């Protein structure tokens, strides 16, 4: 269990932000083409005070994507950071340069950097005008935030642990349309995120967003949830109180990673 904010932020970047690279590889035509013949392993690692490095590596095999939350032998490219703070700064878009091993694979490195740059669409200031890019931002955001909520709980935030511990099995479902959906499953202090619609239990709270254009001003923090409901951007089925709690935790996560 992690309780240090710096460690929690690092866990969220590695376990919630990096995995949405998969959406870029499957939904962005440019990325699909760029990685259609690539087979590679990319390692991200950061030193911790008094402990083993925190690490994750992604495997890309002709567009297929896997992620593992440990180190790996003989990666093609390694991004190594001297501290968690520097890794967090890098992923939040600040001008921090890691030590890069495998830089001589220049063509591959440029492709990997373009994939990392694609994650910048998640940043609050990223405001694409193209409808397909907006859809990509919405989808990546919902996939990222549900996983981040689960990791925030597993990292030991006292208030979220207290909130999840007093609940029986409950499903918090988020959906934009039939192709953009994600959920958080909570049970007696444990949590697990998933993509798509949870089929085995009716949601305790279902937040239904009115299409991409309905979800967009909410994820851009242009309106709050109360105004979103009033304006028809969002319909909440289930407990408004618990939906509000979820909104509060989402705001905390956004503050951590930005």
Tell me the whole-structure pTM to 2 decimals. Answer: 0.94
CATH code of the domain covering residue 62: 3.30.1050.10
Average pLDDT, integer, range 123-133: 93
pLDDT digits (tens, 9 = 90+) for 214-251: 999 999 989 988 899 999 999 999 998 999 899 899 99
118 with 228, same domain: the answer is no
140 with 238, same domain: the answer is yes
Q: Is 67 helix (H, G, I), strand (E, B) or coil?
A: strand
Percentage of the chain lying above the pLDDT 70 cut: 99
Residue 1 has pLDDT above 60, yes or no: no
**Using alpha carbons only, how large is the chain's radius of gyration in Å?**
18
136 with 241, same domain: the answer is yes
Q: Is residue 19 within 8 Å of residue 194, measured between CB atoms?
A: no
94 with 153, same domain: the answer is no
pLDDT digits (tens, 9 = 90+) for 241-257: 999 899 899 999 988 88
Residue 4 has pLDDT above 90, yes or no: no
pLDDT of residue 178: 86
202 with 238, same domain: the answer is yes
Out of 96, 122, 148, pick the residue that ends a domain.
Answer: 122
- How far is the first Cα of the chain from the last one, in angstroms, to the nearest whole number? 22
46 with 136, same domain: the answer is no
173 with 231, same domain: the answer is yes
Residue 53: give the domain boundaries.
5-122
Biggest CA pair distance of the chain? 55
Q: Is 165 helix (H, G, I), strand (E, B) or coil?
A: helix
Residue 3 has pLDDT above 80, yes or no: no
136 with 233, same domain: the answer is yes
162 with 218, same domain: the answer is yes
pLDDT of residue 103: 87
pLDDT of residue 2: 58
Residue 131 has pLDDT above 60, yes or no: yes
HEC secondary structure over 205-223: EEEEECHHHHHHHHHCCCC
Can you tell me the distance from the alpha carbon of 53 to that of 71, in angstroms, rounded to the nearest whole number?
Answer: 9
Out of 90, 122, 154, pick the residue that ends a domain.
Answer: 122
Average pLDDT, integer, range 14-28: 96
30 with 117, same domain: the answer is yes
Mean pLDDT of the chain: 93
pLDDT digits (tens, 9 = 90+) for 61-72: 998 999 999 999
212 with 237, same domain: the answer is yes
Out of 81, 100, 122, pick the residue that ends a domain.
Answer: 122
pLDDT of residue 225: 85
Is the model more confident about 93 or about 20?
20
156 with 88, same domain: the answer is no
Is the model more confident about 15 or about 179?
15
pLDDT digits (tens, 9 = 90+) for 24-56: 999 999 999 999 999 999 999 999 987 789 999
Average pLDDT, integer, range 172-195: 95
pLDDT of residue 63: 86
- Please give the tally of structural domains in the chain: 2
Backbone angles phi, psi at 237, to 5 degrees: -105, 125
Average pLDDT, integer, range 190-210: 96
- Burial string for 37-64 (b: 16+ CB within 10 Å, else e) reads ebebbbbbbbeeeeeeebbbbbbbeebe
């Amino acid at each position: 269990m992690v309780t240090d904010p710096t460690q929690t932020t690092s866990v969220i970047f590695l376990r919630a932000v990096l995995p949405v690279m998969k959406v870029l590889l499957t939904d962005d035509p440019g990325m699909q083409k760029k990685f259609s013949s690539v087979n590679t392993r990319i390692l991200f690692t950061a030193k911790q005070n008094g402990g083993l490095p925190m690490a994750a590596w992604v495997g890309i095999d002709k567009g297929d994507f896997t992620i593992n939350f440990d180190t790996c032998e003989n990666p093609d490219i390694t991004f190594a950071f001297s501290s968690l703070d520097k890794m967090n700064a890098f992923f939040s878009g600040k001008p921090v340069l890691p030590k890069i091993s495998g830089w001589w694979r220049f063509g591959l490195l440029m492709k990997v950097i373009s994939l990392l740059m694609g994650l910048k669409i998640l940043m609050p200031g990223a405001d694409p005008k193209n409808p397909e890019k907006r859809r990509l931002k919405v989808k990546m955001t919902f996939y990222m935030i549900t996983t981040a909520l689960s990791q925030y709980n597993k990292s030991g935030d006292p208030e979220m642990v207290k909130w999840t511990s007093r609940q029986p099995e409950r499903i918090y479902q988020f959906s934009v349309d039939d192709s953009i959906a994600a959920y958080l499953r909570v049970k007696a202090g444990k949590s697990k995120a998933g993509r798509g619609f949870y089929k085995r239990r009716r949601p305790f709270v279902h937040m239904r967003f009115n299409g991409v254009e309905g979800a967009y001003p909410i994820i851009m923090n242009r309106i709050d949830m109360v105004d979103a409901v009033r304006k028809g951007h969002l319909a909440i089925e289930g407990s408004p109180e618990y939906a509000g709690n979820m909104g509060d935790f989402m705001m905390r996560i956004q503050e951590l990673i930005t």
